[in-house]
Chain A
Amino acid sequence: MSYGSTAGACRALLARDLRLVWRRRGDALNPALFAIMVVALFPFALGPEPQVLQRIAAGTVLVALLLAGLLSLDALFRSDLEDGSLEQLVLSPHPLALLLACKIAVHWLTTALPLLVCAPLLGELLNLPPALRPVLLASLGLSTPLLSLIGAVCVALTVGMRRSGMLLALLVLPLYVPVLIFAAGACNAAQNGLAFTAPLLWLGAGLALSLVLAPLACAAALKISLT
């Protein structure tokens, strides 16, 4: 019996997940709306002085996107677990890590990419200095896939649990701290006129490492929680 090629399976999975998101495209915009609202809270809490907002703009956008990504993580395997297709993925003859990498890629494309697109708008809301915008976008571009990959490992551990939301935050946030430190480090260095390539290179190194390791870890974690 032939199972088809692995590339074909990945293509089919990508197409299926993207179609599922497209059928419920209203839901897909929720993380972006959430990020905009979180960012809008800061001027209310700290006062609307442009100098204050300029100082905190990059960090606030980073944290808002991180939280929006965290909230959407919960849904990564939820519907697949409910309709049983997650178990079919685990049973399939194709490498599970590769299939999960496809799922994580779809998650990044559908939740982080809209956020990246609206990041300049969020920056404008907070008077982000224009010179800082490319640095912020670069650090977001490198850190959001990293966050999706790290988060997927933790989601795989909590899959199948009811009320896993708070626990997921407890598991994921400590692992997000280093990513946030390097992303914010690049923005702060650029704001102070210093060289900002080193933290970006660190982020890139972390991304390269977890692109390889995180899907494998995610597959191992999923096998633990589905036994």
Chain B
Amino acid sequence: MNPLVLWFHKLGSPPTFYRLAGRLLPWCYGLALVLGAVALYGGLVLAPSDYQQGDAFRIIFIHVPCAWMSLFVYAFMAVNGFIALVWRIKLSETLAMAAAPVGAAFTFVCLVTGSLWGKPMWGTWWTWDARLTSELVLLFLYLGVIGLHQAIEDRRQAARAAAFLALVGIVNLPIVHFSVTWWNTLHQGSTVRLFGPSLIDARMLWPLLTMALATKFWFAGSLLSRARVDLLELEGGKDWVRQVALAADAAPAPPPEASA
């Protein structure tokens, strides 16, 4: 078998993933903290004030990366849910369900920072504009997925049902993304372009992109640690979990079972 394909198949097995995730975890959190600190320094200290909004615009460095992540995590959850439903890969079920609370948290932070930003700029905490409403619906979709996953007794069936709900809810993603162009709204349009020059000053752009990278790593770290715990719970009766538990008990001395 092709070594790359073989590695991919091995990655799908819970013990291998558990070990690999454990090794990647500190790197994810470490990179997230370092990049986040650099981005905050760049955004709060180095970047110039906005000509119109003064210093109040600086909340953008939290608000926008969280908004991007709220969509990214949902797409990640839906893709993993699709894989879980079609190919019945246990790891994908775990990853999809572990992503849901993280995505809900990003969505919540996005809504709260947006509300804090809206008060001085628009003069209101909340307005029923298309972008805000669709982001709120996104939060409810996340909560629905989490609620359904918690409500079903059988863990694997729960993950499949919730993954299916996540797939149904994916119709909301383009609505959130294009809401500022489809409807004439109070929320401003996008100033950062994937293709072509961005409309934002370069001194403001680099901290924003660095923070976006930091949130990606934070998500990866959070996802991996959640998935590790979920895998231990799901595979509670298996031998590798027993060895992990024994190793944790015997630490720091190496367990005798590890060599067997």
Contact = CB atoms under 8 A, between A and B. Distances in A.
B126 to A, nearest CB: 16
B76 interface: no
A63 to B, nearest CB: 15
A75 to B, nearest CB: 19
B172 to A, nearest CB: 8
Given A153-B168, A224-B164, A170 B157 contact: no
B129 to A, nearest CB: 12
Q: Which of A167, A174, A181 has the most CB of B within 10 A?
A: A174
A220 interface: yes
Nearest to A169: B144
A201 to B, nearest CB: 15
A175 B144 CA distance: 10
Given A177-B137, A227-B157, A170 B164 contact: no
Given A161-B152, A167-B151, A224 B137 contact: no
B169 A175 contact: yes
Question: What DSSP secondary structure best describes chain B's contact surface?
Answer: helix
Interface string B129-163: 00001000100110110011001100001001100
B232 to A, nearest CB: 24
B164 A157 contact: yes
Interface in A184-227: 217, 220-221, 224-225, 227
Interface in A139-164: 153-154, 157-158, 161, 164
A181 B164 CA distance: 24
Given A164-B151, A225-B161, A170 B133 contact: no
Given A167-B151, A170-B147, A224-B160, A157 B165 contact: yes
The main secondary structure of chain A at its interface with chain B is helix
A14 interface: no
A221 B152 CA distance: 14
A173 interface: yes
Nearest to A162: B151
B133 to A, nearest CB: 7
Contacts of A129: none
Contact of A171 (B85, B157, B165, B172): B165
B175 interface: yes
A220 B164 CA distance: 9
A175 B157 contact: no
A158 B148 contact: yes
A217 B168 CA distance: 8
Interface in B225-239: none
A81 to B, nearest CB: 15
Contacts of B168: 153-154, 175, 217
Interface in B171-216: 172, 175
A158 B157 CA distance: 11
A213 to B, nearest CB: 10
Nearest to B172: A174
Contacts of B169: 174-175
Contacts of A153: 168
A177 B151 CA distance: 23
A48 interface: no
A154 B147 CA distance: 13
Nearest to A150: B168
A175 to B, nearest CB: 7
A178 interface: yes
Nearest to A206: B171
A225 B151 contact: no
Contacts of A225: 157, 161
Nearest to A159: B161
A154 B140 CA distance: 14
Given A154-B165, A174-B144, A224-B157, 8 more contacts: A157-B148, A161-B151, A174-B137, A174-B169, A174-B172, A220-B164, A224-B160, A224-B161
Interface of A: 153-154, 157-158, 161, 164, 167, 170-171, 173-175, 177-178, 181, 217, 220-221, 224-225, 227
